[in-house]
A and B are shown apart, each in its own frame.
Chain A
Amino acid sequence: MTTIEETVQLAVPVRTAYDQWTQFKTFPRFMTSVVKVEQVRPSITHWTVGLGPARHEFATEIVEQQPDTCVEWRSLDGRHRGEVTFHETAPDRAAVTVRLQVVRPNVVVFLADASGLVRRVLRSELAHFKEFVEGLGEGNPGWRGTIRNGRVRPVESEPPRSHVPRWPVG
């Protein structure tokens, strides 16, 4: 198992950094290696990543999520996991640290990891994130609920997404 860690310093408040990061569907706007992200539920996202013509898809479960503090995830196939932590370094400054762990690499991931490619891509993508979030200066308000042990705890007692038919279905 290998762990790769990278940190980026941002000239935005920690809340802005967190709100932007947790709008996962926007990742393809600033990360060149992310092709598409679908948010299936608050805790499940489906990712298509790739470099050049190569594509790789995986689903992740967010295991822990605390607003302005952390997002911890694991891929549902159990091959990799990671966490991103958010720190306030000054009133309008934040540090974002991403830690990736490859648990069961396939051949491609093993080679990418061994050659240092994963680290280089991560560093470069974090730079893209910095450019994007600082360029915007402010983020759209994000989801402020929490996730603990993979289980969602919404902020509202009746979040809009739960307004669906609930009557018995035969």
Chain B
Amino acid sequence: MARGLIRAARKREMSLMHRPPGEEPQDELAVTPPKTWAAGVPAVTHALEYSLEETSVRRTGVTLLNMNQVGGIDCPGCAWADPSPGHRHLNEYCENGAKHINDEATSRRITADFFRGHSVSELAERSDLWLNQQGRLTEPMVKRPGSDHYEPVNWHDALGLISDELRSLDSPDEAVFYTSGRVSNEAAFVLQLFARAYGTNNLPDCSNMCHESSGFALHETLGTGKGTVSLEDLHHADLIFLVGQNPGTNHPRQLSALEQAKLNGARVIAVNTLPEAGLLRFKNPQKARGVIGRGVQIADRFLHIRSGGDLALFQGLNRLLLESEDARPGAVLDHDFIASHTSGFEEFARHARSIAWEDVLRATGLARADIERVRDDVLRSKRVVVCWAMGVTQHKHGVPTIREIVNFLLLRGNLGRAGAGACPVRGHSNVQGDRTMGIWEQMPDSFLDALRDEFGFDPPRDHGLDSVNAIRAMHEGRVKVFLGVAGNFVMAAPDTDFTEEAVRRCRLTAHISTKLNRSHTVCGETALILPTLGRTEVDVQSGGEQFVTVENSMSEVHTSRGRLQPASRLLLSEVAILCRLARRTLDGGAGIPWARFEADYGTVRDRIANVVPGFHDFNRRVTRPGGISLPNPVNEGIYGTSTGRARFTCNDWEMPQAPEGHLLLQTLRSHDQWNTIPYTNNDRYRGIHGSRKVVLVNPEDIMELGLSEGQSVDLVSVWTDETERRAEGFQVVPYPTSRGCAAAYYPETQVLVPLDSVADISNQPTSKGLVVRLEAVGVRSSAGRPVPATDG
């Protein structure tokens, strides 16, 4: 039965790829046992199948063979670092990167006819899977007030509509400029320059929703907002923690680094609520042992932790390390390092010793012996790296959790030396670079001063709006214009219904995009689609062929040069669109040479060199093979904190609690998905086929809640306000999640994340640790009142 359903789902998948789907896929859910290994030959076949069905053999060859090569196309799929030049494979990409890049290189096109045949309200009923499958956007489109259709508009008029609207606002702070992490350094720099010259710091970005907690915690404790490790450090670590991350799906090339580390003798401890395939075993399709052998075991130890228990885990671990030091004075802690490079140790130690074990065990769901075994691993290891992702950052206490991880690293001096350090694993390919370029609503005065000195205008100093506050401001009518550069804001944002209401209240929304997504269909009174070049495409300006630059998760800045003919002659690059818009909006361009910037991106890089520290001689250095490696001050012996030292911190926590009859929900992505966009309704590593509307629940919880496998339920989140947030019609799937913890796909369940539910300090929406109840369909409680499904 299951096999038949899987075949049907696969067949549907294949037919979708041959031509744009007319209708939404309506496959039945089929569930198979979760995989216990990632990649291998199936990864290659799936990647090639998808690529070849999207586009031609030639284009597939061009994209794949240039991907992540020196002088080639930087894969927009993720921000994982590339091996150094000379050490890259001929095929230096993963399954998901190949699918993503050929999703962009697709041969399908959306023309004006498509929009004549589909009204905006009709498109708003479609899934992102369907919208994405329609192909590349090819010409600027406008939806005028009162109309329900997009219609063609030329670039001059399209940009004129935006600039007229911007110029008519009472204050520049009535506009927001959103960036997604695909945007190049050059476009990001131009965007923030335009926004600030226009007069606002309203620069929300996707970082606000993914690693904001990491940035705040690292900046406060280490004086740097970025991770401290390189690939070389990972390769030569003795012990690597993978906390709240799923490398097999979200950054598969990390598995190659982990494989190398394992072959060099490292141990790996995975900490997660789900035993993901990529945490267990990796079959490297580029190696014989991955094709015909058993591959490499990744996690030597898997801690099946409760959702949100990571802070308690590291606090318990830190206490154990302090007690080991008591038993063997001088043999456990790095006293020399603590004395000479840190502050706050005594207070931290007092606090750590005061934690109660019963609290730690309840919060983590682990046995004390589990944590003691981790301590033993740590004591045997001279060099430790801790990697983490959104399983940590998207909790209410994401910032204190990362601070506690830093405490853990500091205790044994695992910072500022080879093979050790902190590794926040970022998703979007240039999410780190965009922030480096000044896309942040709270940029420090030093940056704004440099901008002033370079361009001769005084940038606004008041902090702008981040993503959450931008949504609130749009909803309250304080923001009237939304410009999105890449991304799918309404789906990436929390509290989907509220966010959509907010966006619909705008006078004008405009998106610079390569493909159609829901953010084009949920729009303001006037809406614009501004189609742009993809990363894969040749970018020719009047100054000649251009390249752009990006920064990966390990602070390496390098070039990306497109190779394919653009999807349409009418596409403008992101830099070109922004420069033209700036020229139209700002009187006389505010003395900034926008036309030169558009003609030659090298002139933008020259200005970046003058404004952003560490980018001196940018144009020359970035074109060297491998580009520029930005030093991390921690590895230079510098801690730019308020004390000039790495800071130990005391972190109190409140255990995420689900009342009886409730579960803690986390969102996650499927293997056939890139950020908000599903490619199919399958998730083969987790054994889910044909449907994404599933909730993964521990079998014992299913029994305890009086539910049954395959039952249809609504997910209802419990929050302090009166609003009922409901995701309807999800099927219950028994899955080895931690007890009391459930998981469901992002972005379908973003509707459950209240806008006010944010991480302390970072204001990052909490897509993890949501308290939900599962209501059997047809058995609804009164709004906002938690009623366990069992009671129904």
Contact = CB atoms under 8 A, between A and B. Distances in A.
Task: Answer whether A and B are interacting partners.
Answer: yes
Interface of A: 40-44, 46, 59, 61, 76-77, 145, 148-154, 158-159, 161-170
B165 to A, nearest CB: 28
Main secondary structure of the interface of A (DSSP, over half): loop
A43 B749 CA distance: 46
A110 B205 CA distance: 55
A61 B640 CA distance: 24
B418 A43 contact: yes
Contacts of B209: 170
A150 B341 CA distance: 14
Interface in B219-239: 219, 223-226, 230, 232, 235-236
A61 B418 CA distance: 7
Interface string B619-657: 000000000011111011110100000000000000000
Q: Which of A44, A76, A149, A151 has the most CB of B within 10 A?
A: A151
A169 B225 contact: yes
Contacts, number: 127
A169 B426 CA distance: 10
The 7 tightest CB contacts between A and B, nearest first, are A170-B207, A168-B215, A164-B614, A150-B417, A152-B637, A170-B212, A168-B225
A154 B638 contact: yes
A166 B636 contact: no
Interface stretch (B98-106, B312-320, B436-444): B436-444
Tell me which of B207, B208, B336, B417 has the highest count of chain A C-beta atoms within 10 A of its own C-beta.
Answer: B417
Contacts of B745: none
Given A77-B264, A151-B413, A164-B631, A145 B637 contact: yes
B635 A152 contact: yes
Contacts of A41: 631, 635-636
A151 B637 CA distance: 7
A46 B233 CA distance: 13
Contacts of A40: 230, 232, 629
A166 B214 contact: no
Nearest to B219: A168
B211 A77 contact: no
Given A162-B638, A162-B640, 7 more contacts: A42-B636, A153-B637, A164-B630, A167-B442, A167-B444, A170-B207, A170-B440
B417 A61 contact: yes
B395 to A, nearest CB: 15
B225 A77 contact: no
A169 B633 contact: no
Contacts of A149: 336-337, 413, 417
Contacts of A170: 205-212, 214-215, 431, 435, 440, 762, 764
B484 interface: no
A57 B293 CA distance: 27
Interface in B589-622: 612-614
15 contacts: A61-B417, A151-B341, A151-B413, A152-B637, A154-B636, A154-B637, A154-B638, A162-B640, A164-B555, A165-B225, A166-B224, A167-B215, A169-B211, A169-B226, A170-B208
B638 A159 contact: yes
Nearest to B216: A168
B417 A43 contact: yes
B111 to A, nearest CB: 37
Contacts of A164: 555, 613-614, 630-633
Given A164-B613, A170-B208, A152 B636 contact: yes
A42 B632 CA distance: 11
Contacts of B442: 167
B244 interface: no
- By DSSP majority rule, is chain B's interface helix, strand, loop, or mixed? loop
B682 interface: no
Contacts of A153: 637
Contacts of B636: 41-42, 152, 154, 159, 161-162
The residue in B208, B235, B613 that gathers the most chain A C-beta atoms within 10 A of its C-beta is: B613
A76 B207 contact: no
Given A42-B636, A169-B226, A169-B436, A77 B417 contact: no
Nearest to B232: A59
A168 B212 contact: yes
B419 interface: yes
B447 interface: yes
Given A44-B232, A152-B636, A169 B416 contact: no
A163 B450 CA distance: 14
B725 to A, nearest CB: 24
B378 to A, nearest CB: 18
Contacts of B432: 169
Nearest to A42: B636
B465 interface: no
Given A40-B232, A168-B212, A170-B207, A162 B633 contact: yes
A82 to B, nearest CB: 16
Contact of B631 (A145, A162, A169): A162
Give the one of B416, B419, B443 with max A CB within 10 A.
B416
A169 B214 contact: yes
B715 interface: no
Name the residue in B205, B214, B444, B633 with the highest tally of chain A Cβ atoms < 10 Å from its Cβ: B633
B94 to A, nearest CB: 23
Contacts of B277: none
Contact of B416 (A152, A161, A163): A152
Contact of B236 (A43, A77, A148, A162): A77
A167 B440 contact: yes
B367 to A, nearest CB: 34
Contact of B613 (A46, A163, A169): A163
B218 interface: yes
B219 A167 contact: yes
A133 to B, nearest CB: 27
B614 A165 contact: yes
A158 B555 CA distance: 19
Contacts of B205: 170
A163 B224 CA distance: 11
A67 B766 CA distance: 50
A170 B413 CA distance: 25
A77 to B, nearest CB: 7
Nearest to B629: A40
A76 B232 contact: yes
Contacts of A77: 236, 264
Contacts of A168: 212, 214-216, 218-219, 225, 435, 440
Contact of B443 (A61, A145, A162, A167): A167
A55 B340 CA distance: 41
A149 B340 CA distance: 13
B336 A167 contact: no
A151 B337 contact: yes
Contacts of B440: 167-168, 170
Interface in B332-348: 336-337, 341
Nearest to A61: B418
Nearest to B435: A169
B207 A169 contact: yes
Contact of A166 (B210, B225, B416, B635): B225
Contacts of A44: 232, 418
A151 B612 contact: no
Most buried by A among B211, B264, B336, B637: B637
Contacts of A42: 635-637
Contacts of B215: 167-170
Contacts of B419: 61, 76
Contacts of B337: 149, 151
Most A Cβ at <10 Å: residue of B216, B232, B413: B232
Nearest to B206: A170
A163 B633 CA distance: 8
A34 B205 CA distance: 46
Contacts of A145: 637
Contacts of B417: 43, 61, 149-151
A73 B210 CA distance: 39
Given A61-B418, A150-B418, A167 B447 contact: yes
